[in-house]
């Protein structure tokens, strides 16, 4: 065998092994993702869907969490929610049962969905307002100097701060120092700050993607700088800004750490709009999906009855995040086809 032939065989062998490693790495990711989605999908759909019309477990989506009571009655195992249990006791007067209670494991997650939605809307309005403004300043007005470089480094660093640190910061500043207590508004500011770097970076990129020729063309027609930005830059950057922001929404909706000290309650009976004064609306804590999942998974004793709410919540949560991501993709594709230069 000649030297070149053996060399070529070695090259092929190395290539074959490496490709198999790459392939296995990809399959591994696929397997993990499939397992997670299947596990949550199968176990969660047992909670969310029913075998009888309307096939969706409406109470799970519309009721607040309740305590589950489990007891033996005439040889039958009964599992009743708080409300059902009280009714049952009325229907069976004089019956004494030894019921064990399991917190949060009956009823639904409606207050958590509402709380998460409110947290997302408020924090995104804040983050978009501040983020787009500073992106306009950075990309359109500022001149590159030491100060601007410092600002950029600060933004990059802010993006790398762990979310629990944002939570502690929000707790220290908004909850304690400003005296807002655990409240929606403290959560808005904490979450808003957390996504701000992502929004600024995405907005700046979208603004820079608008061709310089459009700015020059507008300025050459006697438009002021602000008119140019307002009429001939921002409208074309907006789809990109919103697309990236929707991915920011997924992050805001998903984070537990920033809200556990600042905005989230483990349990609250009233819905957010059931307040006596309008101003109380902003200064009330809310339930939130990720925090609820955390609570039912780690703060209560685990047994066969807790799985229902855990997987159900995770399933609904996953579904909502997927919905947001899907919206972002559709928006992006639609704006791409409309604007092309």
Quote the tokens at residue 278. Answer: 């309008």
Question: Is residue 173 within 8 Å of 165, Cβ to Cβ?
Answer: no
By CB under 8 A, the count of residues binding another protein is: 22
Q: Does 209 bind another protein (CB under 8 A)?
A: no
Q: Does 227 bind another protein (CB under 8 A)?
A: yes
Half-sphere exposure of 66 (CA within 13 A, CB side): 20
* Cβ closest to another protein, residue 57 vs residue 218: 218
Q: What are phi and psi of 105, to 5 degrees?
A: -90, 5
Q: Exactly one of 85, 236, 291, 311 binds another protein (CB under 8 A); which one?
A: 236
Q: Tell the smallest beta-carbon distance from residue 224 to another protein (Å).
A: 5
Rounded Cα distance, 338 and 282, in Å: 39
| DSSP H helical ranges for 137-183 | 146-160, 163-170
Q: Does 172 bind another protein (CB under 8 A)?
A: no
* Cβ closest to another protein, residue 297 vs residue 335: 335
Question: How many other CB atoms are there within 10 angstroms of residue 162's CB atom?
Answer: 11
Quote the tokens at residue 246. Answer: 């929707």
Q: Residues 15-34: x/- map of binding to another protein (CB under 8 A)?
A: --------------------
Q: Does 174 bind another protein (CB under 8 A)?
A: no
Q: Does 146 bind another protein (CB under 8 A)?
A: no
Range 141-149 contact pairs with CB under 8 angstroms and sequence separation of 24 or more: 141/225
Rg (CA), the chain: 27
Q: Exactly one of 221, 322, 323, 329 binds another protein (CB under 8 A); which one?
A: 221
* Cβ closest to another protein, residue 162 vs residue 211: 211
* Interface residue list for another protein (CB under 8 A): 143-144, 211, 213-224, 227, 231-232, 236, 339-341
């Amino acid at each position: 065998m000649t030297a070149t032939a053996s060399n070529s065989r070695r090259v092929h062998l190395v290539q074959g092994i490496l490709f198999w490693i790459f392939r296995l790495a990809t399959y591994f990711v696929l397997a993990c993702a499939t397992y997670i989605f299947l596990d949550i999908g199968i176990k969660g759909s047992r909670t969310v869907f029913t075998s009888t019309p309307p096939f969706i477990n409406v109470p799970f989506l519309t009721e607040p969490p309740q305590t589950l009571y489990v007891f033996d009655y005439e040889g039958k195992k009964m599992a009743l929610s708080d409300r059902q249990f009280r009714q049952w006791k009325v229907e069976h007067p004089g019956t004494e049962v030894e019921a064990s209670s399991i917190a949060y494991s009956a009823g639904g997650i409606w207050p958590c969905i509402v709380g998460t939605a409110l947290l997302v809307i408020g924090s995104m309005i804040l983050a978009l307002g501040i983020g787009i403004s500073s992106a306009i300043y950075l990309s359109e007005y500022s001149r590159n100097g030491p100060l601007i470089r410092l600002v950029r480094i600060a933004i990059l660093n802010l993006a790398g701060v762990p979310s629990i640190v944002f939570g502690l910061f929000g707790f220290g500043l908004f909850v304690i120092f400003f005296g807002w207590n655990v409240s929606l508004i403290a959560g808005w500011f904490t979450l808003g700050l957390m996504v701000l770097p992502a929004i600024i970076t995405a907005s700046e990129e979208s603004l820079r993607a608008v061709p310089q020729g459009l700015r020059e063309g507008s300025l050459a027609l006697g438009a002021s700088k602000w008119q140019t930005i307002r009429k001939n830059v921002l409208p074309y950057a907006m789809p990109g800004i919103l697309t990236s922001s929707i991915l920011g929404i997924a992050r805001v909706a998903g984070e537990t750490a920033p809200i556990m000290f600042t905005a989230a309650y483990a349990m609250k009976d009233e819905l957010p709009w059931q307040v006596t004064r309008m101003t109380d609306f902003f200064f009330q804590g809310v339930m939130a999906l990720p925090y609820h999942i955390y609570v039912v998974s780690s703060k209560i004793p685990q047994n066969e009855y807790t799985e229902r709410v855990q997987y159900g919540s995770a399933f609904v949560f996953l579904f909502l995040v997927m919905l947001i991501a899907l919206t972002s993709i559709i928006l992006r594709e639609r704006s791409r086809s409309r604007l092309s230069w």
